[in-house]
Structure 1
């Protein structure tokens, strides 16, 4: 199974990137994962949607070739980041490579509520662009108090890791069901 991850934070020491890299390492026996670079995408412009720059074409092809997508979002002003929203705008136009694609939203923040509100907005956007999101009930990876749960660049909190194991198991099954 090939999974592409989008990380909605460009910060060098992003907890969302640390979460994705933890997943990449921890579940390398379950799937191959590639982290898409979204910080280099130009701002979406309808004038360019039919003939996008090569970086956008490559990004869209990466998503089209994936079996599933993970999206890890920080919470900025109760919503997703602009860089993540921009990437989703490109994926929603013309050939729409994310339409019908199984997606697992997740996120990390320093606050007590994690990225709850950002994920609510993310799910609205994913619904509008016809992505197939994993049902949220019991599957929401919302990690708050990040500074206490990550160490040396990876997630180390045992309770959170056990929950992550459970959700990733269900996600792999979900992807299998969606792709049959």
Structure 2
């Protein structure tokens, strides 16, 4: 199974990037994860959507070729970051590469609630007609107090969090069997 991860933070030391890298390495024997870079994407402009930059074309092609999308989002001002909204704007228009593509959402933050509000907003967005992405139900991954769960090398070291994510990944793989 091929999964692309879209991380809503472009910060080098992002806990959400570290979480995506954990999924990428920890489950490498079960499925392939490619972490997509949002930095090269230009700001969405409807005037350019029919003739987008090569960065947008490549980004959309990778999503289209994937079996599923892993969204890993921080929470900024109680919602998703602008960089993530920009990426969503590009993929929800014209060829709508997310239409019907399964998704799973995770997020990490230093706050106690993880990324609850951002994930709620992202779920609503993914159900929009330009995306129409089925979501893994009832397997929310909110990594709160992330600064205590990753070591200085960016590895997820909190055993209870690792075990919980293990169970969610099992559920995700079982759920994905319905799409193949």
TM-score, structure 1 as length reference? 0.96
Structure 1 unaligned residues grouped into runs of 5+:
none
Instruction: Name 1:142's counterpart in structure 2.
Output: 142
The alignment's C-alpha RMSD in Å is 0.7
Instruction: Name 1:108's counterpart in structure 2.
Output: 108
Instruction: Name 1:41's counterpart in structure 2.
Output: 41
Q: Please state how far the C-alpha of 1:173 moved relative to its aligned partner.
A: 1.6
Instruction: Name 1:7's counterpart in structure 2.
Output: 7
Segments ≥4 residues shifted beyond 3 Å: none
Aligned residues: 177
Report the secondary structure of 2:96's partner residue.
Answer: coil
Structure 2 unaligned residues grouped into runs of 5+:
none
Q: Please state how far the C-alpha of 1:174 moved relative to its aligned partner.
A: 1.5
Instruction: Name 1:131's counterpart in structure 2.
Output: 133
Q: Please state how far the C-alpha of 1:154 moved relative to its aligned partner.
A: 1.4
Between the aligned partners of 1:38 and 1:147, the Cα distance in structure 2 is 23
Q: Please state how far the C-alpha of 1:50 moved relative to its aligned partner.
A: 1.1
Between the aligned partners of 1:133 and 1:177, the Cα distance in structure 2 is 12
Instruction: Name 1:155's counterpart in structure 2.
Output: 156
Q: What are the equivalent positions in structure 2 for 1:3-82 lying under 5 Å apart?
A: 3-82=3-82
Between the aligned partners of 2:155 and 2:97, the Cα distance in structure 1 is 30
Q: What are the equivalent positions in structure 2 for 1:166-177 lying under 5 Å apart?
A: 166-177=167-178
